[in-house]
């Protein structure tokens, strides 16, 4: 009889306990093959609603649906085994009431098997975050620049330089922390504020455009690999430039097809059976 050691997936509470121990590593993932490549290196994989813009070419994240998040959440769960997988709740799936939020969060967890959900919002969503947290749904918050509110804010702009903006983000983060979120994404704000918030909360803060003072970092994977290049926020670093590499590979393929040099002999089945 063989004894098999089952490596369990990281839980939301295990992520929370990394705060103060070491920085938390997070990237977005939208598909099984990318999740498989990221899994060994990331504590958290976020199935972000940024997939609307990155994968589907939408103008914003507002048009993303539950069905899209479920399909991609399933793919990322199939491709990964160790990382804690968090799925973004899409716009319109949680703002109406805490009951609506629970129904859709439960659906995301049941249909994908993800470990937690993320939703954007501050004080106005605190009751919802508490409702979910107390009923078995680990919640990641998201404050500062909130892309689902782009139609109300009029654009993607970093926040927190004025006393008013800083105080709003401070209060939002505190409210979501008090409501029981295990972690909070802080997007698009200045270092002193991100540092102060990170030091004062129980939740693990995950920064994107919020300095190195957060408890962890997240980037959109297609941004950091240099695949998505429609726009480049200041906070993006290209750790690879795959767009030119893909361009070269596809140009080579096209040239070989036109020259009939691909497929070659080794890619061709002959009448006499050969080993595959
Ligand atoms: N590919 C991609 N990466 C992201 O980080 C991302 C998405 N898509 N889609 C959803 C949101 C939208 N995000 C964005 C989009 C644009 C800026 C941007 O243009 N920022 C400017 C503004 C500077 C300012 O005025 O404060 C920048 O230069 O960083 C920032 C975040 C972050 N999220
Ligand atoms: C960038 C992260 C925080 C996100 O919300 C997304 O990818 O949708
Ligand atoms: Mg998002």
CATH number for 59: 3.20.20.60
Query: How many domains does the chain divide into?
Result: 1
Residue 221 pLDDT more than 90?
Answer: yes
For residue 249, tell me if it sits in a domain.
no
Q: Which residues are annotated as a binding site?
A: 49-50, 88, 118, 120
The one catalytic residue among 187, 245, 256, 266? 187
Residue 152 inside a domain? The answer is: yes
The binding-site residues of ligand 1, defined as CB within 6 angstroms of any ligand atom, are 50, 53-54, 61, 147, 156-158, 220, 223, 228, 231, 233-234
pLDDT at 273: 77
Residue 4: pLDDT band (50, 70, 90) is: confident
**Mean of pLDDT values over 193-216:** 98
CA of 51 from ligand 2 middle (Å) equals 9
Which residue range(s) make up the domain with 178?
Answer: 12-241
- What share of the chain in percent tops pLDDT 90? 95
Closest among 31, 26, 110, 36 to 68, alpha carbons compared: 31
Judging by beta carbons within 10 Å of its beta carbon (0-12, 13-18, 19+), is residue 236 exposed, middle or buried? middle
| Atom nearest to 209 CA in ligand 1 | 29
Q: What's the ipTM?
A: 0.97
Q: What is the pLDDT of residue 3?
A: 85
Per-residue pLDDT, averaged over 196-214, amounts to 98
**The pLDDT of residue 276:** 65
Whole-angstrom Cα distance, residue 86 to residue 115? 6
Q: Is the pLDDT of residue 103 over 80?
A: yes
pLDDT tens per residue across span 122-166: 999 999 999 999 999 999 999 999 999 999 999 999 999 999 999
For 9-68, write each residue's pLDDT tens digit: 999 999 999 999 999 999 999 999 999 999 999 999 999 999 999 999 999 999 999 999
For ligand 2, atom 2: residue with the closest CA: 48
Task: Kindly provide the residue ranges of all beta strands, DSSP E only, lying in 48-130, ordered along the sequence.
Answer: 84-88, 116-118
> What residue owns the CA closest to ligand 1's atom 25?
157
Please state, in angstroms and rounded to a whole number, the distance separating the CA atoms of residues 197 and 56. Answer: 34
Residue 27 lies in a domain: yes
Domain contains 180: yes
Q: Is residue 47 a part of any domain in this protein?
A: yes
Dist. CA 156 → ligand 1 center (Å): 6
Q: Mean of the per-residue pLDDT values for the chain?
A: 97
Average of per-residue pLDDT across 107-132: 98
Q: Is the dihedral of CA 250, 251, 256, 257 positive or negative?
A: positive
Contact 152, 120 (CB under 8 A): no
Structure tokens at 244: 């030119």
Give the separation between CA 70 and CA 111, rounded to whole angstroms. 7
Euclidean distance between the first and final Cα of the chain, in Å?
34
pLDDT at position 275 over 70: no
- For residue 135, is it within any domain? yes
Contact between 79 and 31 under an 8 Å Cβ cutoff? The reply is yes
- Give the tokens for residue 31: 């598909």
Which DSSP string corresponds to 166-219?
HHHHHHHHHHHHHTT-SEEEEESB-HHHHHHHHHH-SSEEEEESS-TTSSEEEE
């Amino acid at each position: 009889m063989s004894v098999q050691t089952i490596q369990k997936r990281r839980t939301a509470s295990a992520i929370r306990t990394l705060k103060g121990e070491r920085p938390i590593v997070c990237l977005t993932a939208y598909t099984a093959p990318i999740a498989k490549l990221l899994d060994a290196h990331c504590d958290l994989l976020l199935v972000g609603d940024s997939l609307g813009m990155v994968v589907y070419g939408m103008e914003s994240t507002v048009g993303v649906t539950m069905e899209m998040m479920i399909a991609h959440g399933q793919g990322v769960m199939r491709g990964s085994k160790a990382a804690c997988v968090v799925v973004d709740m899409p716009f319109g799936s949680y703002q109406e009431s805490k009951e609506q939020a629970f129904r859709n969060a439960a659906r995301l967890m049941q249909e994908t098997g993800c470990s937690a959900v993320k939703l954007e919002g501050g004080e106005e969503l605190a009751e919802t975050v508490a409702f979910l947290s107390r009923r078995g749904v680990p919640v990641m918050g998201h404050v500062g620049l909130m892309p689902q509110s782009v139609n109300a804010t009029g654009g993607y702009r970093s926040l927190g330089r004025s006393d008013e903006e800083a105080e709003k983000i401070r209060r939002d983060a505190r409210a979501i922390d008090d409501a029981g979120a295990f972690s909070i994404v802080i997007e698009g704000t200045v270092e002193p504020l991100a540092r102060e918030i990170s030091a004062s909360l129980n939740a693990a803060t995950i920064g994107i455009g919020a300095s190195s003072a957060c408890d962890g970092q997240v980037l959109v994977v297609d941004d950091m690999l240099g695949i998505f290049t429609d726009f480049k926020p200041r906070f993006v670093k290209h750790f690879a430039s795959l767009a030119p590499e893909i361009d070269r590979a596809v140009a080579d393929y096209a040239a070989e097809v036109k020259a009939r040099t691909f497929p070659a002999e080794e890619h061709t089945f002959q009448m006499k059976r050969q080993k595959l």
